[in-house]
Amino acid sequence: MTDQAIDISNSTQPIPNQPGPLRAGFEEIWQGFSQHRIWTMLAWNDVRQRYRRSVIGPFWITISMAFFIAVLGVIYSKLFGIPIAEHLPYVAMGLITWGFIAATTTEAGNAFFEGAGIIRQIRLPLSVYPLRLAARGFIILLHTIVLYVPIALIFGLYPGWSTLLAFPGIGLLMINQFWVSIVVAVVSTRYRDVVPLIATTMQASMLATPIMWSADLLGGSAWIAEYNPFYHMIQIVRAPLLGQIPGWHSYAVILGMILIGSIVAAYVLGRARNRIVYWI
């Protein structure tokens, strides 16, 4: 009796301290980035499956975006009385950038559901699935941003040193959309009503953001655009492609969003990481 009690007490091991939600979330994010081969492969496969059996494949994205730009560019240039050579490139670069923002935000609601089969069988960092989404959005962005070349040739947009600022702009935008995808994915997995809510919000935001119209048209109310984060997200990509330098405040807004948003995303992911498998 005594020997058995001694054996039991000796076999008891102290339970290690579990990391807090914030630390656990950042660990998930870091481990997800280390699995870059997995989420890039999944992203490529998603795009290929979407256009399976199609003759021209993903280039349907380019064609549909070109048609959309042509129609809206002409209509809004007539509506606002702005020369088409000035307004169509503005609309084009805005729509291309907005397409990436809207797609990665709205599709994030199904990020964990798309990977449900993998999540239930294999233990991968949960950040892999939002990264898969961001990579897929980037691939689609590459298929649409090539329209800059014919637009620049037709309307005489000559690339300069300021055009190079589009590359860090795209990089910052991708980082920002990554944390947005994490938050939307976690919340939407727990509360399914969030998915249609975000879709509706993004549709309304498109009309309220200077994409097809210029903030200068607001006159003394131009401050409304300045308080719109989507405007700054678009400007850090659109302005360089149009030969302009984005305002420092646009970069400040994006960097602030990335800093605060990354902390929020890590905390949310850290708290939910052990529950997501039961929610999907």
Residue 251 belongs to some domain of the structure: yes
Q: Give pLDDT, residue 62.
A: 87
Q: Determine the average pLDDT of the residues in 18-33.
A: 87
Average pLDDT, the chain: 86
CB 145 within 8 A of CB 238: no
Higher pLDDT, 215 or 25: 25
Residue 50 belongs to some domain of the structure: no
Structural domain count, the chain? 1
CA trace torsion 121, 22, 193, 136 (10° rounding): -60
pLDDT confidence bin for 16, thresholds 50/70/90: low
Higher pLDDT, 18 or 43: 43
Residue 33 belongs to some domain of the structure: no
In 3D space, the residue among 132, 144, 164 whose CA is nearest the CA of residue 93 turns out to be: 144
In 3D space, the residue among 95, 240, 83 whose CA is nearest the CA of residue 159 turns out to be: 240
> Residue 207 and residue 228: Cα distance in Å, rounded?
12
Q: Determine the average pLDDT of the residues in 177-198.
A: 92
Q: Would you give the end-to-end CA distance of the chain in angstroms?
A: 48
Residue 29 belongs to some domain of the structure: no
Q: Give pLDDT, residue 215.
A: 76
CB 73 within 8 A of CB 92: yes
Print the domain residue range for 80.
56-279
34-88: pLDDT as tens digits: 888 999 999 998 888 877 777 677 788 888 899 989 998 888 888 888 888 888 9
Q: Give pLDDT, residue 123.
A: 86
What secondary structure letter does DSSP report for 212? Answer: S
Q: Give pLDDT, residue 219.
A: 66
HEC string of 53-106?
Answer: CCCCCCHHHHHHHHHHHHHHHHHHHHHHCCCHHHHHHHHHHHHHHHHHHHHHHH
Residue 34 belongs to some domain of the structure: no
Residue 237 belongs to some domain of the structure: yes
pLDDT confidence bin for 171, thresholds 50/70/90: very high
Q: Give pLDDT, residue 51.
A: 76
Q: Determine the average pLDDT of the residues in 253-280.
A: 92
Q: Is the pLDDT of residue 146 over 80?
A: yes
Q: Determine the average pLDDT of the residues in 176-191.
A: 93
Residue 103 belongs to some domain of the structure: yes
Q: Give pLDDT, residue 216.
A: 74
CB 129 within 8 A of CB 114: yes
CB 65 within 8 A of CB 144: yes
Higher pLDDT, 18 or 189: 189
- Give CA angle at 102 (96, 106), nearest 5°: 155
Residue 23 belongs to some domain of the structure: no
